[in-house]
Amino acid sequence: QVQLVESGGGEVQPGGALILSCTVSASNSDDYAVAWFRQAPGKEREGISCISPKKGPTFYLESLRDRLILSRISGTNNVELIMSSLTPEDTAAYYCAASIPRRSGDACDFRSALDYNIWGQGTQVTVSL
């Protein structure tokens, strides 16, 4: 059974940066679309980015586009999300999620959590002075 393990969360000061990592426990990890979602206290879960299978496109929530970089780390099963210029509004539990698209060649879509059937346990990011 494929599992996802997130790491890299923690506390950071405003203006700082973090790298979140999602390890996909599958030999064919490149076949999976991987997305990141976050949920702040009292707020709904929101998708913020995803990377398509193989060498497919990557997408970002428009409001965060300038502060995120999502990539697959070559030679590993890891997908990394670099977040920069963090603000207290970025404080949330961050989750990675994965799935194999129904149709080969389909791009990922981070707008719907229902598109993903494998979820990690989450990692907390806290931005404060």
pLDDT digits (tens, 9 = 90+) for 70-82: 999 999 999 999 9
For residue 55, what pLDDT is reported?
82
Residue bearing the bigger pLDDT, 91 or 105: 91
Residue-level pLDDT at 123? 97
Q: Which of 80, 113, 118 is nearest to 99 (CA)?
A: 118
State residue 88's pLDDT score. Answer: 97
Structure confidence at residue 104 (pLDDT): 84
Query: Cβ contacts of residue 102 below 8 Å, gap of 6+?
Result: none
* pLDDT computed for residue 58 by the predictor: 97
pLDDT level of residue 103 (50, 70, 90 thresholds): confident
